[in-house]
Amino acid sequence: MKTIVSIRFLVSLLLLWICAADVYSGGSHLVSCGSSYKLSDLKLQQPPRRVLLVPLLSRDPHTTESPRWSEQPARTLNAFYRNRFNADVTQLRDVWSWTDYYRQVEQIVQQSPPFDRVIFISHGGFDGPVLKNAVFGQNFQVTGNTGKLLQLSEAQPGLENAMSITYDTEKNRIFSDYMASHWPELAPMKPTDIWHRLKELEKQIQPLDLACFQNYCSPEKLTTSSEEQREYRLHLCELICRDPLFEQKTTVEISPERFFHFTKTLSSLVTEDGLIFFGACNPGSEAPVKVLEKDDTELLINSPLAGGPHESYVHLVSAVTGRITAGPIGQSSADDIVNRVITFETGRPQHNLCIVAPPAK
């Protein structure tokens, strides 16, 4: 499902980084989450012999935290598994993007056997762990009189963001030549930075519609405005009274290919009697009921993906990988992630942890 960029979309993108307020689920969801499970009830390798820790490096833009915050709980869990179980512990390093993750995982899968535990430590949301929205693909092509730059990026596996710049190659030769020669420089940039760069170029090479400018920003109209309003009015006139040379669109859609690429790595990393643990906010929270409006994109867990909708992200991943999968219901933090893992591994009961075992084969 596609969506043209809007204020609503931008706000929702920002909210990916923020742990939602406490999200607690009803009794039926807690039952489906195995709220009554004991460690001994699970067909899980005990004690864990091989553990993989995956601290994802990102920063909540609304805080001053270090993007490396997840490395401290990883160090604590590393020591716990080594000291408590004498386990062999491996940790991924410097995972700033999903490209970093896939590159390291590919090497690990080729060089070592699978793990009894794979533990993610990260920011997250209803649709799983979150990293910086990083570009993983770009393309430029000219078809007839239409030029198009396409940029693909991803913050959460399975949610593909696409930014496109389209333009008429015959409308302004200087602009067309610029796009043909500079697109490799533009492609990795943020969509907002690309827009500002091209608007500055447009301002230099595309003349104003003088009749339009005189109508809205004549000296007579400007003299009646305050200085602040005058600057704002001039800025609007610059945008409105200049025939645009390009159109920028941003879309987000569910990408089964990208999602299954991620879950395939999980299946390769984790033994059949192993555990996938998502240490983040809301992987075990019940999928919120959402009435889709025009230009909205479904949550992965509410979509038909992998036989969905699913009750939570933990349910979705367990269904696809065939592995026991767990994660918090509601808010989480660095200390909470450590406490939940240690409490789970020592067989003590805890609230608001969703544990999903795949159906017996």
Note the pLDDT of residue 168.
97
CB 52 within 8 A of CB 119: yes
For the chain, helix, strand, coil in percent to 5 are: 40, 25, 35
Of 102-116, 140-154, 219-233, the poorest mean pLDDT is in 219-233
Q: How confident is the model at residue 11 (pLDDT cuts 50, 70, 90)?
A: very low
CA pair distance 126, 154, nearest whole angstrom: 16
Q: Is the pLDDT of residue 223 over 50?
A: yes
Q: What is the pLDDT of residues 175-212, one digit of tens each?
A: 999 999 999 999 889 999 999 999 999 999 998 888 88
Percent of the chain with pLDDT over 90: 64
Q: How confident is the model at residue 153 (pLDDT cuts 50, 70, 90)?
A: very high
Mean pLDDT of 47-55: 97
Amino acid at 124: G
CB 270 within 8 A of CB 115: yes
Q: Is the pLDDT of residue 327 over 90?
A: yes
Q: What is the pLDDT of residues 67-104, one digit of tens each?
A: 999 999 999 999 999 999 999 999 999 999 999 999 99
**Domain extents for the chain?**
7-132+260-356, 208-242
Q: How confident is the model at residue 144 (pLDDT cuts 50, 70, 90)?
A: very high
Q: What is the layout of strands, in order, in the sheet containing 247-254?
A: 134-143, 146-156, 159-168, 247-254
Candidate CATH numbers 1.20.1250, 3.40.50, 2.60.40, 1.10.260; the one for domain 7-132+260-356: 3.40.50
Find, among 264, 208, 205, the residue nearest to 235 by Cα: 208
Q: Is the pLDDT of residue 231 over 70?
A: yes
Note the pLDDT of residue 83.
98
In terms of C-beta density within 10 A (0-12 exposed, 13-18 middle, 19 or more buried), how is residue 130 classed? buried
CB 134 within 8 A of CB 97: yes
Q: What is the pLDDT of residues 15-47, one digit of tens each?
A: 344 354 444 445 566 666 766 677 888 899 999
SS3 93: coil
Strand 270-279, strand 353-356: pairing:
unpaired
Q: What is the pLDDT of residues 261-308, one digit of tens each?
A: 999 999 999 999 999 999 999 999 987 776 655 555 568 898 899 898
Mean pLDDT of 110-119: 96
pTM, entire model? 0.84
Residue 134 sits at φ, ψ, to 5 deg, of -105, 145
CA pair distance 313, 256, nearest whole angstrom: 15
Of 18-22, 205-209, 317-321, 345-349, the poorest mean pLDDT is in 18-22
Q: Is the pLDDT of residue 10 over 50?
A: no
What pairs with residue 277 in β-bridges? Answer: 119, 326
User: Considering the chain, what is the average pLDDT of its residues?
Assistant: 86
